[in-house]
Amino acid sequence: MSRYIRPEILSMSGYVAGEQPASDSDVIKLNTNENPYRASEKSYNAIRRVLEFGLSRYPDPRAAEFCEIVGRKYGIDPATILCGNGSDDILTILTRTFVGSGELLRLPYPTYILYRSLAEIQGAGSELIHFNEDWSLPDNFYSAGENLRLVFLPNPNSPSGTVIPKERIVEIADNLPCPLVIDEAYIDFADDSCIDLAGRHKRIIVTRTFSKSHSLAGLRFGYLVAAVELVEQMLKVKDSYNCDTISIAAAAAAISDESWQVENRKKIIATRNRLTEKMRAMGFNVPDSKANFTWNTRTDINVRLIYEYLKSQGVLVRYMNYPDWGDGLRISVGTDEQVDKCLELIRQFVEK
């Protein structure tokens, strides 16, 4: 059968998502950076209202209701916003719009693994620029390059949770010959968003998701902000109805519930900082995280064995091994109780 398949697809290994045990299992899930708390009741009420009305009509292809709300919230033109079926859909639309076969996508390394798969699907190359040891970016991340068509920069980065300051991001965008995508999947747990620059600086595009800071990973909703001329071209690439009526209504309600967001952010940040301190106290190297997870490394122990031990005890974290960089455990911030259980098991393992 392989003769039917494009060679680019045959040769790629494909993105492997984190394990998803059945939703009724009592595994403590700290492996895919979901939010452990229930989403705003306003989003559940919006879903109920949609269901009462019925689903016989197609959704709004542009999700105008949502774009208006985000436009007002951030003081941006709704025409600069494009919505997607989760931010992975947005990242796919971006790659398909800007990067063709034989062209180049630039990424920092290590980072979100999906970007590379998106380049491979296009038959494009990925240029991986290693972070410095302190998770800052080296000068060659800024340089022009032949065939370079798009640059992805998650801020905060995964798996490190570290951030690149906004002034540096503007410098990078000023130097690049192509659009720079700031993937702000985790920005609500950090301080300094670039959303005010997107659409104004012609080459800065910002992407956001509802999977992390809005507790709606199961809903699938994300969006980007970019210059209108770029959005107009991306509209040709997206599926006509890439967001359904339920997700548009729920996302619009969730983003309007400011007090839920303030409260949730406070809880996640407090638990994250406690997790960081406790892991450091147990001898792990943990960079300062501005996301809802921490990156934990140690050279004197095989950390894969810790992952396996935790799994055997019903706690899932993410073990990552990056060639030419090293391995570690990425632990998502759960509730205090979940994190305490995870910490206690790690303590038992390292002290044994």
The residues of the shown chain that bind ligand PLP, judged by CB under 6 A, are: 33, 86-88, 112, 154, 158, 183, 185, 209, 211, 217, 222
Name which of 87 and 97 has its Cβ closer to ligand PLP.
87
The helix/strand/coil state of 260 is: helix
Of 247, 201, 245, nearest to 226 (Cα)?
201
CB of 76 to ligand PLP, least distance (A): 20
To which H or E segment does residue 228 belong?
helix 228-234
3-state helix, strand, coil in the chain (%, to 5): 40, 20, 40
CB of 95 to ligand PLP, least distance (A): 13
What whole-number distance in Å separates Cα of residue 341 and Cα of residue 240? 45
CB of 130 to ligand PLP, least distance (A): 18
Name which of 154 and 328 has its Cβ closer to ligand PLP.
154
Q: What is the DSSP letter of 185?
A: T
CB of 214 to ligand PLP, least distance (A): 10
Name which of 39 and 345 has its Cβ closer to ligand PLP.
39
The answer to whether residues 205 and 172 touch, using CB atoms and an 8 Å cutoff, is no
What whole-number distance in Å separates Cα of residue 143 and Cα of residue 26? 48
CB of 344 to ligand PLP, least distance (A): 26
Name which of 87 and 345 has its Cβ closer to ligand PLP.
87
Name which of 162 and 345 has its Cβ closer to ligand PLP.
162
What whole-number distance in Å separates Cα of residue 171 and Cα of residue 51? 47
What whole-number distance in Å separates Cα of residue 180 and Cα of residue 87? 16
CB of 211 to ligand PLP, least distance (A): 3
Paired sense of beta strands 326-332 and 81-84, if any: unpaired
Residue 283: phi, psi to the nearest 5?
95, 10
Residue 221: phi, psi to the nearest 5?
-150, 135
Rounded to the nearest 10 degrees, the angle between the axes of helix 303-312 and helix 336-350 is 120
CB of 330 to ligand PLP, least distance (A): 10
Name which of 35 and 278 has its Cβ closer to ligand PLP.
35
Name which of 112 and 307 has its Cβ closer to ligand PLP.
112
